[in-house]
Structure 1
Amino acid sequence: MATRRHMRLFSALQRPQHLRRFATESRLASDHVRIVEVGPRDGLQNEKKSISMETKLELIQRLAKTGVTTIEAGSFVPAKWVPQVCIVANQLYIALQPILTQWLLQMASTSEICEHLLTSPPQSHDTIAYNYLVPNIRGLENLVKIMDAKGASAEKPARTLEVSLFAAATEAFSKANTNCTIAESLERIKPIVSLAKSKNIRVRGYVSVALGCPYEGPEVDPTKVADITATLLEMGADEVSVADTTGMGTAPRTNELLKALKAAGIASTDLALHFHDTYGQALVNTIVGLEHGIRIFDSSVGGLGGCPYSKGATGNVSTEDLVHTLHSLGMHTGVSLDEMSRIGAWISAELGRSNDSRAGKATNARLSE
């Protein structure tokens, strides 16, 4: 392991710097935290109720005015993606097909949303990076076709463009999610990164189930997570979000994971953390991340979300709760808690679900006095 760590450190030093592009708030002060709002994509994908494109666009437009500078806007899932990736075994496919069909339907309007954001981006005080999940090369090719058709580039004054790629930290989750091994999934990612770089599109990597797997349990090997994270960075990913997809993470295991990432030669500035709040530990784990120098965190307005592959997994940590916690610690986000709380209440009502943000509900109660 020591040899591998030394190789990772050497590789990081030798990595061509021109491949790396920073986000809209690149390398700000140590007390600044960049929040990646995942509600419109990760947050909505697990909703059982069909959501109109108009509602999704309105959610994005409202979020653009809160001060967030990165918003997940959708997923470019090809029409035949569900049967292609899920035939692991007949029984598993039958079990997962309704879940994946639901996800496909929720993401079906991504092309239209992307066209709208490229041609008529929402008004905002800051440059917004709109992020799209591309599960395979076809997804990115579809995004590029839309860019070319609209005569768009990856960067304009009002917005920038990003794509997200997924790998898993366990073999069982990788096979259930993408019908391939971890090694095969990383090979599939290479051409996606290459095409994105050729189009000047920023790349964000994800490592799913880094602190617990629905199939293999909570004890995920942190050195394996570090190895996958380093591989994504070496491919050219601009940052990697390490995800507690199931919400099984605890403070001690989060601490152990972040130590393993550091030991592998991975800089905290190249990392984001993505916590779900299934067991109420997301904010505790966030503080552990802050102590390790992490300054990028994913969250979802109103606590929207969940993992379709992990029964019982609740939503992402709510943006309102995250902002409240960070501000109480003297950190700066540039995000308006009041505006985010209003949006959390609105989208929860639109979806006919409870508002899962404690800080959001308390803030709205204060605002209504």
Structure 2
Amino acid sequence: MRVLGIETSCDETGVAIYDTAYPGGDGLLADALYSQIAMHTEYGGVVPELASRDHTRKLLPLVEQVLREAPLTRQDLDGIAYTAGPGLVGALMVGAATAHGMARALDIPVLGVHHMEGHLLAPMLESEPPAFPFVALLVSGGHTQLVAVEGIGRYQLLGESVDDAAGEAFDKAAKMLGLPYPGGPHVARLAEQGDPKRFRFPRPMTDRPGLDFSFSGLKTHTLTAIRELEASGTLDEQARADVARAFEEAVADTLVIKCRRALDQTGLKRIVMAGGVSANTRLRERLAVECKKRNARAYYPRGRFCTDNGAMIAYVGAQRLAAGESDAEGQMQATPRWPLDQLSTPDTALSADV
């Protein structure tokens, strides 16, 4: 089954084609991505109206691009999947309308899929995908969640952020430090020059039981440190790097401490980390150390599939369409808020590997 995947949840337009006749990454026939970062950087964050308009301009040319690269024609497609949520409602509507229009013209099924399920299953596109069950840390600009995964559609939310997501915290810390949007990569680069011993920032909510996250206090602590340096006239480039390092260390440690607790709580030995923040080198290093202590293994999607992309949507859509799921005719989905644990379980969902 050849499925076209469309991702337009925020500021990246992603399109891909996945063929279920081939397992894992071999089924990915083509993928393309257009990032709006350059446009939104001027405003210091995503402008929803501009994002929606840019998706409208870029989506169909990207569809034609992946068809050429596959190489296929529209008539060779067996189904279409699109991101139905969560995300910016206007951006979601662009993908939903395009997917439903194409599906109706081609007389093929169409399905709206969950954006975070795409991230969660993105490592399935790799040459050595994780077996079920596993723990997943979904860590991006809009979400920070720990999920126990028994199979496709069988998800138990273990913990999540009660305020800012980790990616949002990186963006806000970057703004405090005078760095461009998006903040994560810029903070990480600046942190490489920082002295890890100069500052130690708090690891929020690690002094109490549970698997929820909070980064608002860390954000306030970072701002206070910067203002104190400004007041003393010592906020030079090295001080900025030291603050960036302390902030990054605090986020990485906090996430890994919660991952350790999740592995202990579930008794599992496999953990998936996905979403834009999962590309952070320091976070991966810390998680690798923790996994080695527990004889566990961490799995990641390749770099270009850490951020939003069409490949993960094509993959999830292909699994669910093959199981017989589809949108009702004319019933486009655009759900800005959509809890992951409300997803259905496909009849042909992979069983847990115990």
Decide: shared fold, TM above 0.5. no
* TM-score of the pair, normalised by structure 2: 0.31
* TM-score of the pair, normalised by structure 1: 0.30
Higher relative contact order (CA 8 A, sep 6+): 2
| Structure with bigger gyration radius | 2
